[in-house]
Amino acid sequence: MTQLLQTKAGDLTIMDAVLIAGAKSISERILTNFIGNGTLMSGAMKIAGAIGLVSGVKGKTGKILGTALMVDGGEDLVTSVLGGAITSIGQGSSGQASVSVM
């Protein structure tokens, strides 16, 4: 099991990916109450926080936490720009898009 978790994809091990995903999930749930989620503002704040965090917390811990915040912030930016386009992709199990007629 330990050997599997040390398997790399690019520069990250599977364990790194799991730690980043866990940190992202936790920080997103906590930060949503304070700065929101899925907006340009929340994305910018998370990215700024990631930059500050990496400069303040050295080593692997800083990299893991900084990457988690950076990914979450990037996701917020993409979500805010694409908006409803993201949710409409893949809607309906038949592959048909829903259309509203006024």
Q: Per residue in 31-58, pLDDT tens?
A: 999 999 999 999 999 999 999 999 999 9
Cβ contact 37:28 at 8 Å:
yes
pLDDT at position 2 is: 80
Q: What is the CA radius of gyration of the chain?
A: 17
pLDDT at position 91 is: 59
Q: What is the mean pLDDT of the chain?
A: 85
Cβ contact 97:77 at 8 Å:
no
Cβ contact 46:32 at 8 Å:
no
Q: Mean pLDDT over residues 65-81, rounded?
A: 94
State the pLDDT confidence band at 11, using cuts at 50, 70 and 90: confident
∠ at Cα 93 (90, 94), nearest 5°? 105
Query: Could you tell me the pTM of the whole model?
Result: 0.76
